[in-house]
Chains A and B, each alone.
Chain A
Amino acid sequence: SRPLGKRSLPEMVVDGIEVYSTKIHCRVTSRFAHNTVTTRATNRAETAKEVSFDVELPKTAFITNFTLTIDGVTYPGNIKEKEVAQKQYDRAVSQGKTAGLVKASGRKLEKFTVSVNVAAGSKVTFELTYEELLKRNKGKYEMYLKVRPKQLVKHFEITADIFEPQGISSLDAQASFITNDLLASALTKSFSGKKGHVSFKPSVDQQRSCPTCTDSLLDGDFTITYDVNRESPANVQIVNGYFVHFFAPHGLPVVPKNVVFVIDVSGSMYYQKLKQTKEALLKILEDMKENDYLNFVLFASKVRVWKDHLIQATPENIQEARAFVSNIAAEDTTNINGGLLRGIEMLKKAREEHQVPERSTSIVILLTDGIANEGVSRPEDIQANARNAIGGKFPLYSLGFGDNVDYGFLEKLALENNGFARRIYEASDATLQLQDFYEEIANPLLTGVEVEYPQNAILDLTQNTYKHYYDGSEIVVAGKLADKDMNHFKADVKGHGAFNDLSFTEELDAEEMEKARQEQDYIFGDYIERLWAYLTIEQLLDKRKKAQGEEKENLTAQALELSLKYHFVTPLTSMVVTKPEDNEDQTAIADKPGDGGWAPEGERAGSAVLVGYQPPQTPYYYVDGD
């Protein structure tokens, strides 16, 4: 008699390797997502083979663990300071050995790739864990997963368990590659009270791109979106001496905006980029509210303006603005400094001369595709000029268009002025990307938001002042309680609304705190501490981008200490997995790039080893955490 064993279909073995299981399990507690990707494979060939493991994870996520299990023996990952890890990595790479790293991959993702040699008949398990704080945008939290198995997988599964103490108000899951048939049978989603669940489990036949095909149709985006109940504008959760305070009021009128669009119309914007910009501006103009004010500053070698001062967005003025936008043409060189300062001055003058409503907020939106080469062109000088001219009075948002933009410069420019930077990818949906960005900031409900806690009660607070609170977003503040056993918690949030000043108070008494403690049995207990650490590191890294000298060193040291303590792969750390008896051959590194460099979307795993740690052949390929 023959022993019973699992039989593999030949079509599921590609180049000798059978990937028999890929599972993505997401656990979300209070917006903090803990995701584990596990792939199990067997080398069915008669010789040793290389097995690859690719995961695309959100840029906002930090890897927290990576383990490799070969024939039942597990090799865990160790977080090390980047420089220490790099020596090991360099040694492996210089010998042509296996090494893995994370690199930018498209708009929202970065890619983790690692390959190991597996002996004939051996089994290998890869397990990657990453964590991120889901951010609320336009009224939804979004968890984004990239699904791209290289072959048919016997057990393919995505599951998400969501626990939200405020209660879940909506939950949805969408897959870009899914057909209606697959949707009906392989995807389930449900929520009730505080718990939500999503499961996507296609059978092997459902994975086939056609009934007789052996390649997979699973290739695309899998997105889970949800929101929580908001009976009250704020929610505070306290676990093990750490707290998190979510604040997202709604039902408030929109604060009028004074917007100056500072637009690059230099030669490089010619045709497609300018066409997309104009389309987006025309749509944005449609969405402007009548009590908003606006103007356009166009810069090439010279700076010119639509109007000498800000104009109210009346239907007549919007009509005129549309005509102006339609006739924008590209020309000449790039004078970012000139355009920016003209826009900033215009906003300041409008406020000083009471041309705009007293209760309104001012915003500069800079859109450029290139590097300054006219007028003041040193990035540091432009940044200093903008910083001094704005003086912290209003935010500046930078939109970097295309591949050749100096994104690091634009990001610093925005961060120094209480804004943020976005890349606009020059694809067919660039117009939508621009509109999406505008919609995010189009509806400020509060300005000058300050979150206050009783003095001496709180330690190590994350950012607690914000220039704006936008409709559909959420302010998150976390910290440590001075007294772990305190039984009363109070927080005040102050802000300026469209017509009035508002002061929200959130209080938790002993009874509510005890109720929260009881819920900890269900959730993973230290999530608030990790959420606090994640948020602190993220904000330290942002501050570090705009800091210099000793301040930068201090920020780096603090971020590094927390990254090591909480096992986060950040731009300052790397994770090293070493097989003890053969450490030269089996070194794998999980690393995190920043967005300072540019990796074209076409770059894939094959070039992963080439970039980041070896001197780049051209700056074009350079991707690194710094």
Chain B
Amino acid sequence: PHFIIRVPGKNDALCFNIDEDPGTVLRLIHDPVTGLTVHGEIIGDKVASADSKTRNTYFGKLGIANAYLDVRIEVTPEKISLWNGEAQSTFSWLDTVTVTQNGMTMAINRKKNIVLSFGDGVTFVVVLHQVWKKHPVHRDFLGFYVVDSHRMSAQTHGLLGQFFHPLDFEVSDIRPGLDPSKPVATMVVKNHQLKVTRGSQKDYRRDASVGVKVACWFIHNNGEGLLDGDLKDYIVPALF
């Protein structure tokens, strides 16, 4: 899956890919103060490619939990499950339904997205990407977006969560790359000097099929140098 990090102070964006084997579960967000955790499980194409450079990976399952509300939400391209404690509610992507309870609102917009808000705090948007059912290679997958991330605590961490705090970076020495449309540059971020490539990724919040291009600086090697610690630090054993 690809990650886009908007950096408001710089009016720019960073992006990186995470290439892990299907089945790997990644910690995207963990906030010990609000009790919110988001994990994502990676899926691959229907036909697996042995070459990691050509294989596509996506998020196929997202697990969103709020420890204080004792609520868990599992989203897959097939269904949406909501647990209140042990009691489970199941919804379909064909539903248009709003579920409200103390401290949480979940709105499923038929075949489009889920908007999940926690009180006056953060809002998560899960986008459903549907491909042709009989497509020989690709399969349905999910996108995940965070709105009002500043409302999460300063202790928030995770592959996405670490970027909810102010981030600074400097880009210099912009020069042509192998692909003339993608210049390369040197970036200094978190005390690392990285070679980055100018490119773009798409924001699919408005329309899951078209998307809006977001220009960004691409950090290679699974975001190495941009991410705190090692990628293995973000791998967790289970969705919840």
| A→B interface (CB under 8 Å) | 231-233, 250-253, 497-507
Contact = CB atoms under 8 A, between A and B. Distances in A.
A251 B83 CA distance: 11
Contacts of A499: 84, 87, 89, 101
Interface string B87-104: 111111011111111001
Contacts of B100: 500-503
B95 A232 contact: yes
A503 B98 contact: yes
Nearest to A497: B89
A233 to B, nearest CB: 6
A252 B87 CA distance: 8
Residue from B92, B94, B97, B101 having most chain A Cβ neighbours under 10 A: B97
B96 A504 contact: yes
Nearest to B85: A499
Nearest to B70: A499
Contacts of A253: 84, 87-89
A367 B87 CA distance: 32
Given A252-B89, A497-B99, 6 more contacts: A232-B95, A253-B88, A499-B101, A500-B89, A502-B99, A504-B96
Contacts of B92: 231-233
Contacts of A252: 89-90
Nearest to B106: A500
A233 B95 contact: yes
Given A252-B89, A253-B89, A500 B94 contact: no
Contacts of B90: 250-252
Given A497-B89, A498-B84, A504 B95 contact: yes
14 contacts: A231-B94, A233-B95, A251-B90, A253-B87, A499-B87, A500-B82, A500-B89, A500-B100, A501-B100, A502-B98, A503-B98, A504-B95, A504-B97, A505-B97
A501 B87 CA distance: 15
Q: How large is the interface on B (under 10, 10 to 19, 20 to 34, 35 or more residues)?
A: 10 to 19
Interface string B61-96: 000000000000000000000101001111110111
Interface string B20-38: 0000000000000000000
B101 A232 contact: no
A301 B96 CA distance: 54
A50 to B, nearest CB: 58
Contacts of A506: 96
Contacts of B96: 504-507
A499 B99 CA distance: 9
Contacts of B101: 499-501
Contact of B94 (A232, A498, A501): A232
B89 A503 contact: no
B153 to A, nearest CB: 25
Contact of B84 (A500, A503, A507): A500
A503 B98 CA distance: 5
Nearest to A498: B87
Contacts of A504: 95-97
A507 B95 CA distance: 10
A254 to B, nearest CB: 8
B73 to A, nearest CB: 12
Contacts of A250: 90
A233 B94 CA distance: 8
Contacts of B87: 253, 498-499
A497 B92 CA distance: 17
Contacts of A233: 92, 95, 97
Contacts of B84: 253, 498-500
A591 to B, nearest CB: 45
A257 B109 CA distance: 31
Nearest to B90: A251
A499 B87 CA distance: 9
B165 to A, nearest CB: 32
A93 B101 CA distance: 65
B70 to A, nearest CB: 10
The 4 closest A-B pairs by CB, nearest first: A251-B90, A500-B101, A253-B87, A499-B84
B88 A503 contact: no
Contacts of B99: 497, 500-502
A424 to B, nearest CB: 32
Contacts of A503: 97-98, 100
Nearest to B69: A499
Interface string B132-168: 0000000000000000000000000000000000000
B88 A502 contact: no
Contacts of B89: 251-253, 497, 499-500
Nearest to A231: B94
Contact of B97 (A231, A502, A507): A502
B133 to A, nearest CB: 14
Nearest to B80: A251
B128 to A, nearest CB: 14
B89 to A, nearest CB: 5
B140 to A, nearest CB: 15
Nearest to B100: A501
A497 B87 CA distance: 11
Contacts of A507: 96, 110
A81 to B, nearest CB: 46
A253 B86 CA distance: 10
A378 to B, nearest CB: 45
A232 B99 CA distance: 16
Nearest to B98: A503
A306 B88 CA distance: 33
A498 B88 CA distance: 10
A439 B16 CA distance: 55
Nearest to B104: A500
A17 to B, nearest CB: 56
